[in-house]
Amino acid sequence: MTNGPLLRTEHLSRRVGDTTLVHDVNLELYPREVLAVVGPSGSGKSSLLRLLNRLDEPTEGTVYVRGVDYRTIPPRELRRRVGMVMQFPYLFPGTVADNVRFGPRQRGIELTDDEVDALLQRVGLPGYGQRDVARLSGGEAQRVSLARTLANQPEILLLDEPTSALDEAAKAGIEELLRQILASGEFAAVLVTHDLAQAGRLARRVLIMEKAHIVRSGDTEEVLRAYQAVP
Amino acid sequence: MLTRLFPDPLTLAAVQAVVAGLLALLVALLAWWMHLRMEKEIIIALVRGLLQVIAVGAVLLFIFQGPTAVGFVILAAMMVVAAQMSAKRAQGLPDAFRVSLYSIAAGSGTIILLMVALGVIDIKLTALIPVGSMLLANSMNTASLAFNRFRGEVLSHVGHIETALSLGASPRAAVLPYVQAAIQASLIPRVDSLRSLGIVWIPGVMTGMLLGGSHPVRAALYQFVIMAMILTVSATTSILAVLLISQRIFTPAEQLILRSETEG
């Protein structure tokens, strides 16, 4: 395995009609690294994230995963390796365990009860396996969504505003859980958030996006300081 | 009373049409009196309906004298029109005309041929065209319902579908629940009308046969045959239409096409 970036984008762009959603983004993500992408709504940060697991097709440029052009990787394999957690949990009707088993089941792998329990333990929901997802709180649902993505054993996590749909109390809990999981060093992650302070707490490096462009990048603390200096 | 005054069946029918038309004109009068602002519309609809239906009668009179092949040509033409109509219900669904043509043709076409071959539908044009067109119309309605529901289900579950894709699901697995919901919804009217057959309504074919003097049980059985065929045709059409269209809302790279572009 090389020491190069886990993920690298090259002139990554997406245009739909006359609208440019993402323009010429070049970024690198190294193993165990957490990279935050911060910007106001409509700046293209979620659009960028959707290009990274190829939920949308780049109109220009491409992405390399461990040096391999991702257009040569079968989409299902790519999306297992580059896991995504969305802003809303979008749980499938059924039990918590059904949801956790969803990803591996697509490849014909059936997680054992112990494996499901271990994943739920990890996201702070021990013993939740048989609960109906319709009866979960917003924070619990987002935890299940995270466990469901982790069940696929991804190399990279894409986190799309994972706390912005939650109330204040749940927000702090999920952020703390993310901090623990990211600190484990098992994953590299790209975190999209509109909250620069949150980026500071979770990521070492940050990209600022405005109107489809990366306008600034660097060490999170430096960028934070620069933005606090200019009101 | 009219029967005795007008022994010639065609004259009798014309007089009956005038009587029914005059009654309907009273409705227009009532509408005018109640300020419903519908009287003009009602009169135009009455005249238009009369002219259209006489025209169809005249065309049928002409066609019924032709060879059987004419019936199949006419049904084929009807299929194209039906496909166009149901494709309109599929706004935003890619390739909708072709999908609805395939599924209507396969659904109603195969059943019509099979029923003709088995002798359930008479090969005579007087049976082939009306029964065939009835099956076609149901096939079309079902395809429209299925498209409409499928489109609605997908648009309201974009997040779930893309979540499934993000977890490594195939497009087929990602839309399966919505494929099932659309097929199910499109068949509800067919199943309901079969269930209420004879209790809530005595449908067209049976009414026609009874008016024509057929044995009531024979008329009832033939009506059941029609209804069972309609259900079969509808189910085949709906399953094909939804399965075919569900493959077309994804790109080769397994990205959902049918959604409004989101950004953030």
Enumerate the domain spans of chain A.
Answer: 7-229
Could you say which DSSP state residue B201 is in?
B
Q: Mark whether B107 and B1 lie in a shared domain.
A: no
> How confident is the model over A85-90, as a mean pLDDT?
96
Q: Mark whether B201 and B116 lie in a shared domain.
A: yes
Confidence (pLDDT) at B260: 59
- The verdict on a CB contact (< 8 Å) between A43 and B170 is no
Q: Mark whether B201 and B161 lie in a shared domain.
A: yes
The residue that leads in pLDDT, A88 or B225, is A88
Instruction: Name the residue range of residue B186's domain.
Output: 68-248
Does A2 have pLDDT greater than 70?
no
- How far apart are the C-alpha atoms of B145 and B154, rounded to whole Å? 14
The residue that leads in pLDDT, B262 or A170, is A170
Q: Mark whether B147 and B218 lie in a shared domain.
A: yes
Could you tell me if residue B106 is inside a domain? yes
Could you tell me if residue B260 is inside a domain? no
Q: Mark whether B144 and B182 lie in a shared domain.
A: yes
Q: Which of residues 136-175 of A touch B (CB under 8 A)?
A: 145, 148-149, 152, 160-161
Q: Mark whether B81 and B179 lie in a shared domain.
A: yes
Element (H, E) at A128: none
Mean pLDDT of chain B: 90
Could you tell me if residue B254 is inside a domain? no
Q: Mark whether B95 and B20 lie in a shared domain.
A: no
- The verdict on a CB contact (< 8 Å) between A192 and B264 is yes
Count CB neighbours of A117 within 10 A.
18
Does A103 have pLDDT greater than 90?
yes
The residues of chain B scoring below 50 in pLDDT are 261-264
Confidence (pLDDT) at B211: 86
Q: Which two tokens stand for residue B56?
A: 């169809």
- The verdict on a CB contact (< 8 Å) between B167 and A21 is no
Q: Quick one: pLDDT band at residue A229, thresholds 50, 70, 90? A: low
Please say whether the beta carbons of A179 and A148 come within 8 A: no
Could you tell me if residue B195 is inside a domain? yes
| B169 inside 8 A of chain A by CB | yes
Please say whether the beta carbons of A139 and A128 come within 8 A: no
How many domains does one find in chain B?
2
| A21 inside 8 A of chain B by CB | yes
- The verdict on a CB contact (< 8 Å) between A106 and B162 is no
Does A43 have pLDDT greater than 60?
yes
Q: Mark whether B36 and B83 lie in a shared domain.
A: no
Q: Burial of B70 by CB count in 10 Å (0-12 exposed, 13-18 middle, 19+ buried)?
A: middle
| B254 inside 8 A of chain A by CB | yes
Convert the pLDDT of each residue in A106-116 to its tens digit.
999 999 999 99
Confidence (pLDDT) at B261: 47
The residue that leads in pLDDT, B213 or A188, is A188
Q: Which two tokens stand for residue B182?
A: 């659309």
- How far apart are the C-alpha atoms of A101 and A213, rounded to whole Å? 38
Q: Mark whether B176 and B230 lie in a shared domain.
A: yes
- How far apart are the C-alpha atoms of B169 and A80, rounded to whole Å? 9
Confidence (pLDDT) at B33: 92
Confidence (pLDDT) at B122: 84
The length of chain A is: 231
Which residue, B48, B63, B78, sits at the end of a domain? B63
Convert the pLDDT of each residue in A116-154 to its tens digit.
999 999 999 999 999 999 999 999 999 999 999 999 999
What topology does CATH give the domain A7-229?
A: Rossmann fold (3.40.50)
Confidence (pLDDT) at B207: 86
Could you tell me if residue B262 is inside a domain? no
Which residue, B63, B80, B107, sits at the end of a domain? B63
The closest alpha carbon to A182, from A209, A207, A225, A150, belongs to A150
- How far apart are the C-alpha atoms of B248 and B258, rounded to whole Å? 9
Please say whether the beta carbons of B162 and B256 come within 8 A: yes
Residues of A in contact with B255 (CB under 8 A): 54-57, 75
User: Which of A16, A18, A106, A161 is best to mutate for the B interface (most B CBs within 10 A)?
Assistant: A106
- For B84-108, b/e burial (b = at least 16 CB within 10 A) is ebbbebbeebeebeebbbbbbbbbb
- How far apart are the C-alpha atoms of B247 and B35, rounded to whole Å? 52
Q: Quick one: pLDDT band at residue A230, thresholds 50, 70, 90? A: low
Share of chain A above pLDDT 90, in %: 90
Confidence (pLDDT) at B88: 87
Which residue, B47, B63, B79, sits at the end of a domain? B63
Q: Mark whether B168 and B51 lie in a shared domain.
A: no
Could you tell me if residue B259 is inside a domain? no
Residue with the two structure tokens 């979540």: B163
Could you tell me if residue B264 is inside a domain? no
User: Which of B161, B163, B175, B176 is best to mutate for the A interface (most A CBs within 10 A)?
Assistant: B163
ipTM of the complex: 0.95
